[in-house]
Amino acid sequence: MKLATVRTGQGTRAARLDDGGYTLLDASDVGAMLARDGWAEAVASARGEAVRPEEAHLAPVVTQPGKVLCTGLNYRNHILEMGRELPEYPTLFAKFADALIGPRDTIALAPESSAIDWEAELTVVIGRTVRRATEAQAEAAIAGFTIMNDVTMRDWQFRTKDWLQGKTFEGTTPLGPVLVTPDELPGGVRPALALSCRVNGEVVQKADTSDLVFDPVDLVRYASTVVTLRPGDIIATGTPGGVGHARKPPRYLGDGDVVTTEIEGIGRLENTARPA
């Protein structure tokens, strides 16, 4: 099952992606749908107005998540190529919902930054409330997966040891295009999927999510130890090698650059960078 959030003249609506288009659901977005008991059965049986794919104006798959958690340094190859040891624990940081944009929206190039970078990431969407989850509870809490590009202002990120200010500039972070439930993905709640990022058609990142040090279930267990996770919360699982900041010389996004972020089985984000 695939879910999306569609912008309409009356606001946003959750929708189920079918062969013929998006069937609108009686919820304001995917997060609101996931908060309902029995959401999967309700979505599967829903009948309603349909929007053709070419006419759908997609919002972030969850428009106002209560938590946007992100993971740093989580791909083995990337960590080892940087000469670092594999971490014992996940590196977690956060974004605010104001950073999120839709899968085809414009990435806002903040005039305060001259080092705006890309980070393609598989992202977990939580489907039930969980705290101090066991492995089985963590698996059951995963409603599905979507895609994020964790666009980062590197010059702001490294001003201090804390990354927050470089990670959550408003209107920078595409999320979508759909949530795909684990039953539709190879590996289920631990999916093994090809991931890529292209800038103006050039492949800059390419990896497989099976290379994650901490898989989605691990991350749900760990994060839920710290804080209660609720339906609609999201956890980005980290990015592989190939970011612009690590290139020699560094490469960053500029006006008109097109960033295409793709994960097999989920879909594609395609966003043009423009001055804010």
Co-location of 14 and 145 in the same domain: no
E runs forming strands in the chain: 2-8, 11-18, 21-24, 50-51, 57-58, 68-72, 91-95, 100-101, 107-109, 116-117, 120-126, 142-149, 152-153, 173-180, 194-199, 202-208, 234-236, 258-263, 267-275
What CATH number corresponds to the domain at position 262?
Answer: 3.90.850.10
Q: Which amino acid is at 104?
A: R
- Contact indicator for 264, 100 with CB cutoff of 8 Å: no
**Last residue within a domain, chosen from 14, 35, 59:** 59
* Residue tagged 């569609």 (tokens): 6
- Average confidence score pLDDT of the chain: 96
Co-location of 152 and 188 in the same domain: yes
pLDDT digits (tens, 9 = 90+) for 107-158: 999 999 999 999 999 999 999 999 999 999 999 999 999 999 999 999 999 9
Among candidates 95, 70, 113, 156, which has minimal Cα distance to 253? 113
Co-location of 4 and 108 in the same domain: no
Among candidates 96, 60, 23, 99, which has minimal Cα distance to 179? 60
pLDDT digits (tens, 9 = 90+) for 27-60: 999 999 999 999 999 999 999 899 999 999 999 9
> What's the number of domains the chain is made of?
2
- Contact indicator for 25, 46 with CB cutoff of 8 Å: yes
**Last residue within a domain, chosen from 59, 78, 97:** 59
Q: Which domain holds residue 132?
A: 64-275
Q: C-alpha distances in angstroms, 186 versus 40, 209, 236?
A: 19, 11, 19
List Cβ neighbours of 211 (8 Å cut-off, separation of 6 or more): 75, 76, 77, 240
